[in-house]
Amino acid sequence: MNYSYVATCLFGLESSLGAELDALGLKRTFTMDGRVYFEGDESACARANIGLRCAERVYLHLGSFRATTFTELFDGVMALPWESFIGSADAFPVKGHSIRSRLFSVPDCQKIIKKAVVKRLSEAYRKEWFEETGVRYQIEFFLFKDEAALMLDTTGTPLHKRGYRPASGAAPLRETLASGLVRETHLKPDILLWDPFCGSGTIAIEAAMQQLHIAPGLKRDFAGMQFPWLGEKLFSDEKQRCEAEIRREDPVEIWASDLDPSVLKLARENAKRAGVEKHIRFFEADARKLEKPDRKGTVLCNPPYGERLMDQKSAEELYRDLSFSLGRFAPWQVYILTSCENFEFFYRQKADRAKKVYNGMIPCHLFEFYKPKDNAKKAKPAQGRQG
């Protein structure tokens, strides 16, 4: 049987998520900010949860309908086949979001949706009281421009929590974003990737996992494993299939450096948990004084923003220093993620491409430099504060 699913992601990663779904052989049906809809059978749920690197969650999409009043919301929810998934003893809490919709009160929407589901299940199971002690089905609603989408969460703990990073540095980069950044570099086995601000090692670890074809969800569980209509075997079989595709002996090498020896220790431990420690060279180094290796390579990094690490002035001075340090790396490609709106001004170079993404709730840009600095146009001061 085919189902409709929704994979959510951080804003800016929709195209990467869509490409991943294509690679997994799953049929995309619709894309909007922060989510991609797709179709597939029961196995598609396990394949998406275990294999998607850029997704935050995978939902079973039960249906969508217009809802401008609470009556329309109640009736629309009531019409969905909840008894096909939720048992008479199961738990079914409700949560969700409302954006640019007339039904803007999330608590009120929660109450209406819960009431409608209870009524539908009461008629299906001929009972008035639900103890909700069985399997937990998290109901998620998303109201956008008066269009309501009702879903069941098949993921549980968010997908960015791979299981290899119980501890991290002071300002960790989300694993899903790191993976999306790595995809942007179009990394190849003969190209060295170097992160000179590695922190807890997330970029390097995600890059190694991609290169070695290690599925991100191999070492964790999912809510859907408890659903009778999916079951643990479905996920177990998919994990076995993914294990067989790992290329542990491929000649993958990644460099990860940082000034802080304590975070380097954490990074090594994280890489070991991820099973990629032998493919990453961790070492202490000052990003202001890097020497370019005599080989093909790419720099991908997430230097301090001046928001969660460093003060703004120190971050701007660091960007100026990086313009000299990384300027010597041509013809390497350089990718820098930052929330600084005037980064190009301080870096003294106009990016060849800038892509807007979000690190959690922080709006950022991935600045991409392909051309040698001497041949690039001098960056013009961006609008806004410049120090």
- Whole-angstrom CA distances from 147 to 41, 92, 104, 114, 140 are 25, 22, 12, 18, 14
Reduced to 3 states, what is the DSSP secondary structure of residue 102? coil
How high is the pLDDT of residue 192? 96
Across 125-129, average pLDDT: 94
Share of the chain above pLDDT 90, in %: 85
Q: Is the pLDDT of residue 387 over 70?
A: no
d(CA 103, CA 139): 18
- Summary mean pLDDT of the chain: 92
Fold that domain 175-212+247-375 belongs to in CATH: Rossmann fold (3.40.50)
The amino acid at residue 344 is E
Q: Is the pLDDT of residue 223 over 50?
A: yes
- Whole-angstrom CA distances from 186 to 41, 135, 200, 280, 333 are 30, 41, 22, 18, 11
d(CA 158, CA 54): 11
Residues sharing a CB contact under 8 Å with residue 267, sequence separation 6 or more, in sequence order: 198, 199, 200, 201, 204, 205, 256, 258, 282
| pLDDT tens by residue, 227-261 | 999 999 999 999 999 999 999 888 899 999 999 99
d(CA 185, CA 298): 8
d(CA 31, CA 226): 28
Token readout for 229 is 């209509």
Based on the number of CB atoms within 10 Å of its own CB, is 313 exposed (0-12), middle (13-18) or buried (19 or more)? Answer: exposed
How, if at all, do strands 297-301 and 353-359 pair?
Answer: unpaired
- Whole-angstrom CA distances from 121 to 80, 88, 176, 223, 354 are 10, 7, 36, 21, 50
How high is the pLDDT of residue 171? 57
Q: Is the pLDDT of residue 281 over 90?
A: yes
How high is the pLDDT of residue 206? 98
Residue among 154, 156, 73 at smallest CA distance from 119 = 73
- 335, 186 Cβ separation under 8 angstroms: no
d(CA 265, CA 367): 29
Q: Is the pLDDT of residue 342 over 60?
A: yes
The domain ranges of the chain are 3-153, 175-212+247-375
Reduced to 3 states, what is the DSSP secondary structure of residue 32? strand
The structure's pTM equals 0.92
Across 15-24, average pLDDT: 97
How high is the pLDDT of residue 170? 57
The amino acid at residue 347 is Y
* Count of H-run helices and E-run strands, the chain: 10, 14
How, if at all, do strands 3-9 and 147-153 pair?
Answer: unpaired
How high is the pLDDT of residue 371? 78
Q: Is the pLDDT of residue 132 over 70?
A: yes
CA angle 193-195-201, nearest 5°? 110
Give the DSSP H/E element, type plus range, for residue 27.
strand 27-32
How high is the pLDDT of residue 309? 52
Long-range contacts of 218-222 (CB under 8 A, 24+ apart): 218/50, 218/242, 218/243, 219/162, 219/163, 219/164, 219/273, 220/157, 220/161, 220/162, 220/163, 221/156, 221/157, 222/46, 222/49, 222/50, 222/154, 222/155, 222/156
Domain 3-153 = CATH 3.40.190.10: no
Across 8-24, average pLDDT: 97
Residue among 346, 344, 361, 275 at smallest CA distance from 314 = 346
Radius of gyration of the chain (CA): 23
d(CA 175, CA 87): 34
Bridge partners for 336 per DSSP = 301, 367
- 342, 386 Cβ separation under 8 angstroms: yes
Across 45-54, average pLDDT: 98
How high is the pLDDT of residue 375? 41
Name the phi and psi angles at 370, rounded to 5. Answer: -110, -30
How high is the pLDDT of residue 372? 67
Q: Is the pLDDT of residue 169 over 90?
A: no
How many residues are listed for the chain in this entry?
387
